[in-house]
Amino acid sequence: MGLVVTFISWCWPAILLMVIMKLWTIYNDSKMDQTSPLPLPRGSYGLPIIGETIAFVTQFLFDETRLQKYGNVFKTHVLGEPTIICMGPENVRKVLSGEHRVVTSSWPSAIKRLFGEGALSQSFGGIHRKRQKLVRKAFTHDALKSYVTPIRDLVRKHVTYWCDGENEVQAKSKLKSMLLEIACKVVLGLEYEKSDYSKIVETYETFSNGFFAPPINIPGSVFYKAMQARKTLHKYAQESMDRKTNDDRIDALQYIQSSIGENGEALSEEEIRESVIELMFSGHETTASACTSVVMLLARHPDVIGKIRDELDRYGMFEEDGYDVDLDDINRLQYVGQVMKEVLRLAPPTGGGFRKVLETFELEGCQIPKGWTIIYNISNTHRLSNHFDNISDFDPDRWHPDSMTKNQSFHYLPFGGGARSCVGKEFAKLLIKILIVEMARSCSWTVKQLYPRMSRLPVLNPVDGLPTSFKRYGKEKQGVCCQDGIALLKEENLRGI
Tell me, yes or no, whether 37 lies in a domain: no
Instruction: Specify the number of domains making up the chain.
Output: 1
Tell me, yes or no, whether 82 lies in a domain: no
Structure confidence at residue 486 (pLDDT): 37
Q: What is the mean pLDDT of the chain?
A: 85
Q: Which residues are annotated as a binding site?
A: 422
Structure confidence at residue 198 (pLDDT): 74
CB-based contacts of 21: which residues, under 8 Å, 6+ apart?
Answer: 47, 48
Q: Which residues are annotated as a binding site for heme?
A: 422
Q: What is the CATH number of the domain that holds 463?
A: 1.10.630.10
Tell me, yes or no, whether 414 lies in a domain: no
For residue range 323-361, list pLDDT tens digits in order: 678 899 899 999 999 999 999 999 999 989 999 999 999
Tell me, yes or no, whether 436 lies in a domain: yes
Tell me, yes or no, whether 109 lies in a domain: no
- C-alpha closest to that of 380 among 44, 69, 98, 86: 86
Q: How many Cα atoms within 13 Å fall on the side-chain side of residue 73?
A: 20
Tell me, yes or no, whether 175 lies in a domain: yes
Structure confidence at residue 491 (pLDDT): 37
178 with 154: CB under 8 angstroms? Answer: yes
Tell me, yes or no, whether 480 lies in a domain: yes
Task: State the Cα–Cα distance between residues 396 and 338, nearest whole angstrom.
Answer: 5
Tell me, yes or no, whether 16 lies in a domain: no
Q: Which domain holds residue 298?
A: 126-349+420-494
**The model scores a pTM over 0.85:** yes
Q: Which residues of the chain have pLDDT under 50?
A: 244, 475-496
